[in-house]
Amino acid sequence: MPLRRLSAVRKAVPIWPISGVAKKKWLKTIVPLPYGIPSHDTFSTVFRHLDPDAFDAAFRRLTASFAQGLEGVVAIDGKAVRGAYRRAAKATPLHFVNVWAAGPGLVIGQKLAPGRNEVQGALDALALLALEGSIVTADALHCRPDTARAILAAGGDYALALKANQPGLLAQALARIEDAGHVESIQIAAETAHDRIETRRASVVAAGDINFPGLQAIGCVETTSRHTNGHLTSHVRYFLLSTTMSPSALIEVVRTHWQIENNLHWVLDVHFREDAARNRKDNGPQNIAFLRKIALNHLRSHPDKASIRRKIKKAGWDDEFLTSLIAHMR
């Protein structure tokens, strides 16, 4: 067929939810669908006008077995949905704060950062969670008294990154480490990753008298990297801790925090194409973001050992697997 005619045919084809049409027979085993597969506009209208607070409550009920009595590391971090911007506002897309439970590998919370205020979004998310037995990690933006109080009020402990955005606290922490002199430290064996060999050394110093809510200790982690060209780089990170832990435990907590980037944000962008999504009106972006995280939780909690990408493909090909995927987490 000539390219001109092929182009005309493509323009003439209506835009239908192709996946829904392909799965119509299977879908009718779950819902009647007397009027067929809803159109793109119908889905858009529903998600734009659905109350995100009600959807959030349903999302938390779905993950209630994981959100209650969590143990281990719970990471908090913000993420912009880069495609969710209005015309002439490309530089300021919508911003969400995500809460990630590293133990089960599930998302347990999401809040819109109002006016791109990530701190307020984190406070709103923390207010809805029960965090007994968990250690909450966050970057230096959240190293604030109000965030620390919110974590403690939820029953958790914190390990908050401390940087120069809190100069007073940082100066006190450095002075406390210097005054402590020789402290217990641990050096982790060298590991090879990303064409470099990394060695980590950590120490923990008591600091209960520094004026910060619930503060018990200062943690220090020094990472030395030897690159393939022989070049050495080193950097030191500091953390405020509401509970005293061993240096080896500190290293594990600090490294576990990055799961939220590697196992959540990267997956959302690569497998769910979140940054490419153009939902931007009314409540649509927030509700669709909830839907992505529900889907990801289902995929991760299913006992099949395949990767996320393979599970998604298998769900499209195999109706029996798709049914087991949806029924697994109720």
Question: Of 102 and 19, which is predicted with more confidence?
Answer: 102
User: Chain-wide mean pLDDT for the chain?
Assistant: 86
* pTM of the full structure: 0.86
The average pLDDT across 106-124 equals 93
Query: What pLDDT score does 136 carry?
Result: 97
Q: Which of the following CATH numbers is that of domain 22-160+250-328: 3.50.50.60, 3.90.1150.10, 3.30.420.10, 1.10.760.10? A: 3.30.420.10
Residue 212's Cβ-side half-sphere holds a number of Cα atoms within 13 Å equal to 28
Nearest to 259 by CA among 59, 104, 154: 104
Question: Of 176 and 83, which is predicted with more confidence?
Answer: 176
Query: What pLDDT score does 1 carry?
Result: 42
**pLDDT confidence band for 318 (50 / 70 / 90):** very high
Instruction: Provide the angle, in degrees to the nearest 10, between the axes of the packed helices 145-153 and 118-126.
Output: 20
What six digits make up the tokens of 99? 């809460």
Ramachandran area for residue 320 (φ above 0: left; ψ -120 to 50: alpha; else beta): alpha
Across 38-47, 64-73, 270-279, least confident range: 64-73
Whether residue 12 is predicted with pLDDT greater than 80 in this model: the reply is: no
Across 86-100, 248-262, 268-282, 310-324, least confident range: 86-100
Query: What pLDDT score does 7 carry?
Result: 44
**pLDDT confidence band for 224 (50 / 70 / 90):** confident
* 3-state SS track over the chain: CCHHHHHHHHHHCCCCCHHHHHCHHHHCCCCCCCCCCCCHHHHHHHHHHCCHHHHHHHHHHHCHHHHCCCCEEEEEEEEEECCCCCCCCCCCCEEEEEEEECCCCEEEEEEECHHHCHHHHHHHHHCCCCCCCEEEEECHHHCCHHHHHHHHHCCCEEEEEECCCCHHHHHHHHHHHHHHCCCCEEEEEEEEECCEEEEEEEEEEECCCCCCCCCCEEEEEEEEEEECCCCEEEEEEEEEECCCCCHHHHHHHHHHHCHHHHHHHHHHHHCCCHHHCCCCCCCHHHHHHHHHHHHHHHHHHCCCCCCHHHHHHHHHHCHHHHHHHHHHCC
Nearest to 79 by CA among 131, 129, 116, 34: 116
Q: Domain limits of the chain?
A: 22-160+250-328
Whether residue 13 is predicted with pLDDT greater than 50 in this model: the reply is: no
Nearest to 234 by CA among 246, 252, 220: 220
The average pLDDT across 90-101 equals 88
Whether residue 328 is predicted with pLDDT greater than 90 in this model: the reply is: no
Query: What pLDDT score does 312 carry?
Result: 92
CA distances 157 to 5, 72, 99, 132, 145, Å, are 65, 10, 15, 8, 13
What six digits make up the tokens of 60? 């938390």
Return d(Cα 207, Cα 289) in angstroms, integer. Answer: 40
Question: Of 248 and 60, which is predicted with more confidence?
Answer: 248
Query: What pLDDT score does 15 carry?
Result: 40
Question: What single letter denotes the amino acid at residue 280?
Answer: R
For the stretch 17-62, pLDDT in tens is 456 788 888 989 888 988 888 888 888 999 999 998 888 888 877 7
